[in-house]
A and B are shown apart, each in its own frame.
Chain A
Amino acid sequence: CVDSLKDYNVDPKRAAEGAVPGVTLVSSAELGLTRLVESTNVNLNPFRLFLQYWTETLYNDESNYNLKTRSIDRYFWERLYIGRGSTDPTVAPGVLRNLSEAKSLITADQFLDPKIKANQIACVEVLSIYAWTVLVDTYGNVPYNQSLDYNNPQPQYDDAATIYTNLFARINAAIAQMDASATGLGKADLVYGGDMSSWIKFANTLKLRMAITTADADAARAKTQSEAAASKVFTSNSDNATLAFQADLPNTNPLWEDLVNSGRHDFVGTSFFVDNLNTLKDPRLGIYFKPVAGTTATYKGGVNGALNTASLFSNPGTALEDPTLPGVLASYSEVEFLLSEAAARGFAVGGTAASHYTNAISASIEQWGGSTTDAAAYLTQPTVAYATAAGDYKQKIGTQAWIALYNQPIQAWAEWRRLDYPKLTAPADALSPIPVRLTYPSVEQNLNNTNYTAAAAAIGGDKVDTKIFWDKF
């Protein structure tokens, strides 16, 4: 009889809730997060188009900021909170919910060494804080305090600035909890292989990033937090927080999947970016882009947002066509730009704006395989050198950070919004000004309407040109 068939409700083919090591979910979160920031998928990550690194060839909807047809705002949001699909092994996992589950599994593990447990939880915290900053920087107010609780289907949105305040407390607590003498996540850590001294640098790097990102909104906090972090951040490219993608699908770099494996030719450099690199004789030009088909050294960009024939313009470079190209969560170059800006803002982070600026550019060139000589030659140009480059610190740093963060499009977008350089112009046919945020997913209007409406009103309207709280200028 039926009552004797209790195991009929037990899935014989899948792991039951609670039955797996917590660190296996951290691996998933690391993979999901890195894929998201690295991707150029037109359903997920349009930021290279916003920054006019690239424009599209035949189907230029996203280049013209049509973000609704493909529900980009929704997929970006979902990936950070939960991810989609549970049975398909080729679907990338989500981030925050896996981290919260990992945290409770690790916490519940009675046999784990307390030091290791503290380290593992601290790593989970750092990754969570990273994801939260991406969410807040992208949407503004988001569900935070009431989030990740499936019993509450309609979580309230929290004030973006308040979330940041809480995240600062959390990152400091996580840093305090880290112990470099013990291991962390071990081999499950796809970023640092469990090395806690690297995690301490990564956590401080993230703290520095958070401080400078919000510097226009809370200068005092930016000063204290960046000064506290400055001595503990990345000091070379070998510290970079990267995830080493694999040669075989589905663990390949998502750029390779869309640029090479698809056989498609959807993206070319924009004339604005390529011309800039040409003018500056940038040594990264031949790495960032391929010469125009049939030429050896002619680099030419397409018209942003227009119909472009891929074969007539420079396509993304060979370096980006490597399936094992590591995905970058944070880079030394980025750190030096942040320190340069901190110094320019008068924060006591050691060094000068110029020295950090120089380090940042060198680090970027070297990160892409250039030599120190290349970097030095580049930096001697008056148009590049900090002292002589055009404009104020915002323009100098903004322009060079824009070039350097070519393959960190989400971070590049944040820098551009804060520094407002380089000056970009929307395409003629664009549906909106260049987005400075993503709109909330349309499904939030269906599923969480009251809270959605309140949040939209609180931030000044659910539009792509509503500025995030820290984007003051």
Chain B
Amino acid sequence: QDRAISGKVTDRSTGQGLPGVTIIVKGQPTIGTSTNADGAYTLSVPSVATTLVYSFVGYATQEAPITGANTISIALATDTKQLNEVVVTALGVERSRNSLAYSATQVDGSDITVARNPNPINGLSGKVAGLAITQSNTLGGSSNVIIRGTKSISGNNQALFVVDGVPISNANTNSTAQQTGSSGYDYGNAAADINPDDIATTTVLKGAAATALYGERAANGVILITTKKGRKSGVGVTVNSGVTFGRIDKSTFIKYQKQYGAGYGQYFNDYNGGSVAPTQDDASYGNAFDPSQLVYQWGAFTPGSPTFGQATPWVAAENDPSTFFKTGVSTLNSIVVDGGNETGTFKLGYVNDIQRGVLPNSNITKNTINFAGSLNLTPKLTVSTTVNYTRLAGLGRYGTGYGSENLMTNFRQWWETNVDIKEQKEAYERYNTNATWNLYSPETGDFSAAFWNNPYFVRYQNYENDSRYRTFGNVMANYKVFKGFDIVGRVTADSYDEMQEERSAVGSTTASYNPYYSRYNHTYREFNYDLFGNFSRDFNEYFSLRGVIGTNLRRVYNSSIFAQTNGGLVVPGLYSLSNSSSPINTPTESETNVGVDGVFVSATFGFRERVFLDLTARRDKATTLPTGNNSYIYPSVALGYVFSEDLHDKAPWLSYGKIRGNYAQVGAGALPLSVNNVYGKPAIFNSQTLFSVASTRNNPDLKPEKTRSAEFGLETAFLDSRVGLDATVYQQNSIDQIIPIAQSAASGVLNRYVNSGNVRNRGVELAAFVVPVKTQNFNWRLGANWARNENVVISLPVDNILLASYQGGVTSNATPGQAFGSLRGSDYVYLNGQRVVGANGYYLTTDANQIIGNPNPRWRGGVTNTISYKTISLSFLIDVRSGGSVFSLDRYYGLATGLQPETAGLNDLGNPSRNSIANGGGIIVDGVLADGTPNTKRVSNSSYGLYGYLRNPASTFVYDASYVKLREVSLTFGLPKAVLAKVSFLKTADFSIIGRNLWIIHKNLPDADPEDVASSGNFGQGYQGGAYPATRTLGANLRFGF
């Protein structure tokens, strides 16, 4: 006996009737109806029916038991995004978020490009819990991308980028010297070649269970990028045009004292019956400024200078080095044409990206063309391809580290406060010569550059240039064998050739090296051949099975050659190897090949669409390991339960709930050529060939590193998904590390590769959102993420591994019980918590083996806030790093050479501390003598050293690296639909005002940006020398869609 049941279906959040909701009798899908325009329905149901099922796109499906009542009204909750959202997972397999039993954070392309960052990697900063991105302040510099902490002591820790199945390394080609703070250039990482406007979605796969299908290269987490595909119908054109202006953030640049000028001590030299400033002394501990005193300064010896031959007043420079920086104007223009129909789609894009730095003569030009197309050849066979071609040209990248090509070492460490930047500019521009302030000994007629060049000469004559031509992409065929089973064949390639040319012009200081020209050519090829089958079947309403089985062959070829002139250049301005003063040394060649063969299988068992069990296994065989010991299996298991499916009635406030747990083991292979030993090759000596034993010993018994990872997580959303929380705890142990262990040099090697050690990372990741307002016109969404990773070296075969040594007597170390990269150096000697001062009045210092810092932050977090009203939206991102330390070489030297105001203050007597002690100057350093009595010995501050490295341990210059940054701001005005409707060809149009790094809200490191460390990679973390100021960027972007 049928009976009629009627009712009304409403939206739970608005209370409005919902039209078009499908209602069926459970178990009898043929009996059903849908709601009318008001949300009302009537359905005739058989007497055996027990339950009605209500479903509607965008809302959570809900069931209602049929009781005696004839009216059943129900309020549907909007579906949480999580429920049916498709997430791209390993190997590009799309899965519903429901079925994922591991942490995978998806970021929309529009969220990455919101602030028009030309580097898509940096556009992810602060947006994903557990993804730590450390940006460089150099133009086009590398970004350190670490997911869930540093795992490998000596291997690569950079996340793997995979673009449409094409694996792209984030490694940089910077020299070890550059990475450990010596002179060099930061050439950036290759992953920055990805066009940000081409990104559809990015998925950050953090744990090993999520990445296990990548096997040998999965340990560091994977950032999966899916690019935009052509639309399915019609043709569209999108145009973006933007311009930004960058200026330095003065809170991240040094401030100078203005009372004392050039000199390591307070003296002038005699010249021509008058006084000449000690132009050689690259320090500001000289005589006090006195406008009435006339002194011969550098300009007096620089031909053509308006002060040539004249003594000029001894005063502080009007224009200090902060005026050296200019406004960097950058433009980013792109156009994308896409279209398609039933049988195929295509997309063609072009980007022109010109970045100009805040230093004179610096720019990076990137032109990208990309194409994506797919064609349904038959109903069963689809072929597709994506191709990206990038041409990158860099000119005048900023010199980094310690050296005359990095003007920051000059400005922050070794400077004379009487030198006027504007006068240096005029002096350079007069004849384009090295009219430096740092003359060796003008009083004796030696006008050569002592240690430093004219800063404009450095920028315009000693510049580098580089280029990279890169093609990456794939061709792919997908054949549907039968419903639920298809086979994918794919070939991917990443290929680039790059050249880097560096030069130091004739006339430059030769304090560190002769004028030179060098070139570095590097070729990289990676090919992946994938063949896999996708299986998917719902057996009945309870059980489902999805599976992947496949194989991956990877071949990587890497080769480079480096050559450099020797002994100087003959013809000024001619930069070629043949212009070498002395015969050039043999160029340095390298070639490595890597092959990895993998087979993999994965299966996901589903039960009632709410319980999912994932099993995966991959076996890799790698050439980097010794034959016979080169094959390894990486398994994973994951289990998830969407418990909210079973709590609809009991807890209607719970929009979504899932718990998940997983365990996996993944690997990391050895670096190529770590198995056999070779000799080093010193230069040929007087026609004799020399060989030399290498200082690093390889190992024929290596096996891959392993990372074992366990993770547990909870995903929830409440109150119609107005509030949500995603929490994850994890632990990862990276064992059998392949480490070139430093051993006593007396053993005849400095380092030897072994498999050993255990590094543990464990942490908590939280991501939460709240939507305080949600109406048709007005939306406000707040998102926050927070992650804490605790990194500790659990065990090593030795007491300590020295990772890197830096200038300043500071080293980076791995020590059991300490975090990776802990900084060591000398420290104060303490007595009952007070610093001990020696009889000479200066602090006692320990040896250089004390732990003085940990570069790993306590936690990182980000807050995003988006408010939109009709077509106007405002969003901003606050990026926070708390804790961790950074050693500042800039202050180590800068305080010694008397640049900062604190070196020229008043002492306890109220007198200028730089007065001689006899004249009431000097300082009593704060501390106690060895017997515990207060120090009363007054020490001189009238020549260099007291505040800097000379008289203080390295720990003095270790600072807290926390920051709170207003990272991104964007204000977008869209043309209202009503207006658009009148312009038939225009589909969308909006105008944005954007800002990046506008404000460092909080930091503890004086005069510098705590984020700007030596380099990306394992070296240089927590170490800053010659740091660049942060750049505040403000700009505008126009976007049209046709």
Binding site for B on A (CB under 8 A): 1-3, 5-6, 8-17, 19-20, 24-25, 27-28, 31-32, 58, 61, 66, 68-69, 71, 77-78, 81-94, 96-98, 100-101, 142-143, 147-150, 152-155, 187-188, 190, 244, 246-251, 261-265, 293-294, 307, 309-312, 441-449, 451
In the complex, the chain A residue whose C-beta lies closest to that of B824 is A446
Known: A86-B680, A249-B566, A311-B441. A448 touches B695 (CB 8 A): no
Task: Establish whether residues A8 and B672, one from each chain, have CB atoms under 8 Å apart when the complex forms.
Answer: yes
Known: A12-B591, A13-B591, A265-B440. A446 touches B800 (CB 8 A): yes
Whether B360 sits at the interface, judged by CB under 8 Å, is no
Task: Establish whether residues B746 and A2, one from each chain, have CB atoms under 8 Å apart when the complex forms.
Answer: no
Task: Establish whether residues A15 and B514, one from each chain, have CB atoms under 8 Å apart when the complex forms.
Answer: no
Residues of A within 8 A of B444 (CB): 293-294, 311
Task: Establish whether residues A263 and B746, one from each chain, have CB atoms under 8 Å apart when the complex forms.
Answer: no
Whether B61 sits at the interface, judged by CB under 8 Å, is no
Task: Establish whether residues A28 and B690, one from each chain, have CB atoms under 8 Å apart when the complex forms.
Answer: yes
Task: Establish whether residues B594 and A27, one from each chain, have CB atoms under 8 Å apart when the complex forms.
Answer: no
The distance in angstroms between the C-alpha atoms of A92 and B680, with both chains bound, is: 11
Task: Establish whether residues A27 and B685, one from each chain, have CB atoms under 8 Å apart when the complex forms.
Answer: yes
Known: A8-B593, A82-B749, A249-B567. A93 touches B686 (CB 8 A): no
Whether B624 sits at the interface, judged by CB under 8 Å, is yes
**B567, B685, B696: which has the most chain A beta carbons within 10 Å?**
B685
Task: Establish whether residues B621 and A307, one from each chain, have CB atoms under 8 Å apart when the complex forms.
Answer: no
Residues of A within 8 A of B264 (CB): 58, 307
Task: Establish whether residues A293 and B943, one from each chain, have CB atoms under 8 Å apart when the complex forms.
Answer: no
**B586, B687, B693: which has the most chain A beta carbons within 10 Å?**
B693
Whether B292 sits at the interface, judged by CB under 8 Å, is no
- Secondary structure at chain B's binding surface: helix, strand, loop or mixed? loop
State which residues 576-615 of B face A: CB under 8 Å: 582-583, 585-586, 588-591, 593-597
Give which listed residue, A15, A152, A447, contacts B800 with CB less than 8 A: A447
Task: Establish whether residues B745 and A441, one from each chain, have CB atoms under 8 Å apart when the complex forms.
Answer: yes
Task: Establish whether residues B847 and A27, one from each chain, have CB atoms under 8 Å apart when the complex forms.
Answer: no
Task: Establish whether residues B690 and A93, one from each chain, have CB atoms under 8 Å apart when the complex forms.
Answer: yes
In the complex, the chain B residue whose C-beta lies closest to that of A445 is B849
Please choose the segment from B378-386, B541-549, B736-744, B759-767 that sits at the chain A interface, where 4 or more of its residues have CB less than 8 A away.
B736-744
The distance in angstroms between the C-alpha atoms of A181 and B588, with both chains bound, is: 41
**B622, B696, B748: which has the most chain A beta carbons within 10 Å?**
B748
The distance in angstroms between the C-alpha atoms of A192 and B217, with both chains bound, is: 54
Give which listed residue, B676, B681, B687, B696, contacts A89 with CB less than 8 A: B681
The distance in angstroms between the C-alpha atoms of A27 and B687, with both chains bound, is: 11
The distance in angstroms between the C-alpha atoms of A2 and B272, with both chains bound, is: 77
Known: A2-B623, A6-B627, A251-B685. A96 touches B748 (CB 8 A): yes
Task: Establish whether residues B686 and A3, one from each chain, have CB atoms under 8 Å apart when the complex forms.
Answer: no
State which residues 653-690 of B face A: CB under 8 Å: 672-673, 675-683, 685-690
Give which listed residue, B588, B697, B805, contacts A88 with CB less than 8 A: B588
Task: Establish whether residues A93 and B682, one from each chain, have CB atoms under 8 Å apart when the complex forms.
Answer: yes
Task: Establish whether residues A98 and B692, one from each chain, have CB atoms under 8 Å apart when the complex forms.
Answer: yes
Task: Establish whether residues B630 and A93, one from each chain, have CB atoms under 8 Å apart when the complex forms.
Answer: no
Task: Establish whether residues A442 and B681, one from each chain, have CB atoms under 8 Å apart when the complex forms.
Answer: no
**A107: min CB distance to chain B, Å:** 16
Residues of B within 8 A of A5 (CB): 593, 595, 623
Known: A147-B746, A261-B510, A446-B849. A14 touches B695 (CB 8 A): no
**B199: min CB distance to chain A, Å:** 33
**A443: min CB distance to chain B, Å:** 6
Known: A31-B685, A82-B748, A83-B692. A2 touches B621 (CB 8 A): yes
Q: Please, how many residues of chain B have a CB less than 8 angstroms from a CB on the other chain? A: 92
Task: Establish whether residues B583 and A248, one from each chain, have CB atoms under 8 Å apart when the complex forms.
Answer: yes
Whether B848 sits at the interface, judged by CB under 8 Å, is yes
The distance in angstroms between the C-alpha atoms of A398 and B924, with both chains bound, is: 43
Task: Establish whether residues A58 and B280, one from each chain, have CB atoms under 8 Å apart when the complex forms.
Answer: yes
**B951: min CB distance to chain A, Å:** 10
In the complex, the chain A residue whose C-beta lies closest to that of B681 is A89
Give which listed residue, A3, A17, A86, A153, contacts B747 with CB less than 8 A: A153
Residues of B within 8 A of A155 (CB): 744, 746-747
Task: Establish whether residues B594 and A8, one from each chain, have CB atoms under 8 Å apart when the complex forms.
Answer: yes
Give which listed residue, B586, B627, B680, B689, contacts A85 with CB less than 8 A: B680
Task: Establish whether residues B847 and A442, one from each chain, have CB atoms under 8 Å apart when the complex forms.
Answer: yes
**B954: min CB distance to chain A, Å:** 9
Whether B809 sits at the interface, judged by CB under 8 Å, is yes
The distance in angstroms between the C-alpha atoms of A312 and B446, with both chains bound, is: 13
**B605: min CB distance to chain A, Å:** 32
**A27, A143, A247, A293: which has the most chain B beta carbons within 10 Å?**
A27
Task: Establish whether residues B281 and A24, one from each chain, have CB atoms under 8 Å apart when the complex forms.
Answer: no
Task: Establish whether residues A10 and B676, one from each chain, have CB atoms under 8 Å apart when the complex forms.
Answer: yes
Task: Establish whether residues A86 and B742, one from each chain, have CB atoms under 8 Å apart when the complex forms.
Answer: no
In the complex, the chain B residue whose C-beta lies closest to that of A6 is B627
Residues of B within 8 A of A187 (CB): 687-688
**A162: min CB distance to chain B, Å:** 16
The distance in angstroms between the C-alpha atoms of A31 and B692, with both chains bound, is: 11
Task: Establish whether residues A249 and B744, one from each chain, have CB atoms under 8 Å apart when the complex forms.
Answer: no
The distance in angstroms between the C-alpha atoms of A15 and B512, with both chains bound, is: 31
**A208: min CB distance to chain B, Å:** 27
Task: Establish whether residues A97 and B683, one from each chain, have CB atoms under 8 Å apart when the complex forms.
Answer: no
